[in-house]
Amino acid sequence: MAILLAAAPRALAESSWLTVDAAAYHLLRPALPAMRLHAPAAAPAASSAPVVLVEVPAQDVGRMARLLHGKLGHCGGFMFHADQASAQRSLAQGVAAPLPGLVQPAYAIGNQARVAPLLARMEAKQIARSIAGLAAFPDRFYDSAHGARASEWLRQDWAAISARHGKVLVETFAHAGYPQASVIATIAGSDLADEVVVIGAHLDSINTHALEEQGAPQAPGADDDASGVAGLSEVLRALSESKYRPRRTIKLIAYAAEEVGLRGSQDLARAFRQAGIQVVGVLQLDMINYKGSDNDMYLLRDYTNAEQNEFLKKLIATYLPGVRVGSDACGYACSDHASWHAEGYPASMPFESSLAQANPHIHSKNDTFANSGGQAVHALKFARLAAAFAIELGSSIP
């Protein structure tokens, strides 16, 4: 099954249309006097934060992103919309109706003989290698030359990792308006190839102090989100070396431009929806290597699918005994899972800590591998969960 390799071209507008939580709007208003409020909305399910629609000059989007990240610690923090009409539809509908005939997975555990030995072969040192490679770029901002080069580096790395499988397609998805591409690795399914399992992380990084720092600002983004992309790389390595052939198609996606309104994942989720692709489950890995809380993983309640979240708990209990699980809520569209959720696809996001105890170094030059402990043991738990998710959902019957 093929999908378009480029987002549909569109004219670059003078204004950008964004949805953002009300607290962020009131914080940003003094700093961005040209920003205009258009409409409030009710709070999303499982959240207490109302969302508002704002219009900002296109040239202010990068500054808005840095202000949000710097003042509120938001990751993602707002959703970028192609135009006013689509933004208003997003406010009015909240979540698109599921695609007609969208498959409801069984959410069963039935592949222990395949999953358990594969998880045992996964290694923290391999994740550490991938984090180091991505964090070596001075930054991976969506509109920078370094960000574009990071996409090509990852494409080549994934092609090399998957070579032993022989049937993995690694490609890039070009986005309109900025040079960073998303990177996609596809393992085609057998008898259920038209049904898709998506596991993603975001490739870009941001330094919220870029406007104040002297010289070229550094944004290594080792935890946010080189750790998540590195987790995908280890899943790809494990599946490739075992030559795993799923029944459903599996796509591992490193998204561009998450830090500036989830733009990369929105393009992809929208393209899948418009093509009528049956995505049976989406998992997001965004920050997985800093253990700031007593529990090991926190499943986000908002912008996610409750039934799929329960499936994750079953996977953890079966394959990651001893891993302690909590729950939390962002209160806003804090990562790329929200893009898929908005298009009516079931999405989940396990996080490395409670949100109140998240990595304090993100969005700065100090988001380094050393400041996550200099090892990837915590990230390995999430990579193993993602591999179990891929195989159990990729192999299960409807």
Whether 259 is catalytic is: yes
Residue 348: its H or E element: strand 347-348
202 in catalytic set: yes
From the list 21, 223, 225, 259, the catalytic residue is 259
How buried is 359 (Cβ within 10 angstroms: 0-12 exposed, 13-18 middle, 19+ buried)? buried
Indicate if 224 belongs to the active site.
yes
Handedness of CA 118, 119, 121, 127 (dihedral sign): positive
Q: Is 75 within 8 Å of 337 (Cβ atoms)?
A: no
The catalytically annotated residue of 175, 202, 337, 341 is: 202
| Nearest residue to 203 via CA among 140, 268, 149 | 140
Burial class for 243, CB neighbours closer than 10 Å (0-12, 13-18, 19+) = exposed
The DSSP 8-state label assigned to residue 44 in this structure reads P
Per-state percent for the chain, helix, strand, coil, to nearest 5: 40, 20, 40
CA distances from 232 to 40, 128, 130, 146 (A): 37, 12, 10, 21
Q: Which residues contact 121 (CB under 8 A, 6 or more apart)?
A: 238, 241, 242
- Options 363, 367, 378, 392, the catalytic residue: 363
Contact 78, 128 (CB under 8 A): no
For residue 382, give the 3-state DSSP assignment: helix
What is the number of alpha carbons within 13 Å of residue 350 lying toward its C-beta? 33
Report the C-alpha gap between 26 and 367 in whole angstroms: 28
Query: Does the active-site annotation cover 209?
Result: no
Reading the block at residue 207, the tokens are: 């330094």
Among candidate residues 21, 223, 225, 258, the one labeled active-site is: 258
The two tokens of residue 14 are 């003078």
Which residues are the active-site residues? 202, 224, 258-259, 286, 363
